[in-house]
Structure 1
Amino acid sequence: MRSWKTFVKRRHGYKLDTLTLDAGVAYLVKMLSKAGILTEMSCDGHGRNAPKIWFAGAWNAAWFEIVSCKVLGELKLHYRWVVEEKGTSEHILTAKRTSPERWNLKLVQEDAMRIGTYLDMHAEELSNYKRKCFKHRSMKEQAVLLSRDYEVLKMWMKEKVTG
């Protein structure tokens, strides 16, 4: 799941039974998979904590940030969704509250649906574009090296995308 080859070549993540996912983020997790953005686990926070989705490695997290940066600013979301880096191997999409109010699972689900709908509409395009931008085997060594510094990795990937 965390290899460069898997990142580049997979058109979708592993098939998951929707019923095994937390309801608040299930649709978003499924649409990330459909768009070729691999995840490892998720939690909707159960109304008590921030919802979180763990990406399968830095490349998937960076790719999500690249393809969603404009959209996340334009969608009317209840929470601010950001990718956080925990050490060098954990990259987590998490929601941030904009006010001290309690977490509202219904609002989490609405946000997940809005982000997921965008991914659903563009899934094939995003998956194919990822393969086109990062298809060269010669990129692997540099990608592996850069994965140790997430911000540098994001800049490198963005440069490959905007070429």
Structure 2
Amino acid sequence: MHSIVAALARNLLYNVEDRIEETVARSKRNAIFVGIAGLLLLTAYVLAVTALCVTLGNSYGTVPALLGLAGSVATVALVLIAILVYLNKREAELRRRRRQQMRARRELAALAAGTAARQPLATAALGLALALFLRPRTRRRRRDD
């Protein structure tokens, strides 16, 4: 006879395996549908660019239309690259600041631990004073009698 712990562990393992199988199946299905949708969107994009080229070609001529379209697409791509570079720099700066803050917190915690080890009574008194000073305030309503 198996123990209840073994039965619970086996049940948990089977539930985890079922969830993994469901997740893998759902991911495969989603990948297939996203792939098909992406292919259709790419086809629609190519057809839209072709239609734009034909329309501009009728108005301005073939070569100027293609050069104008290529220039506008290149300009949009450069703007997107500039935005990406800006976002990456901003994110790197935020990461650097967080690292500095964490380093300062670690140093402060090490300093506090060192002080607590050298003067445990003073540390306990300071902690008690801070706890009393920072305690949550109760709200009392005045009754108008």
TM > 0.5: no
TM-score class, shorter-chain normalisation, is: under 0.3
> TM-score normalised to the size of structure 1?
0.23
Higher relative contact order (CA 8 A, sep 6+): 1
Larger Rg: 2
TM-score w.r.t. length of structure 2 = 0.25
Higher strand fraction (1 or 2) = 1
Greater helix proportion: 2
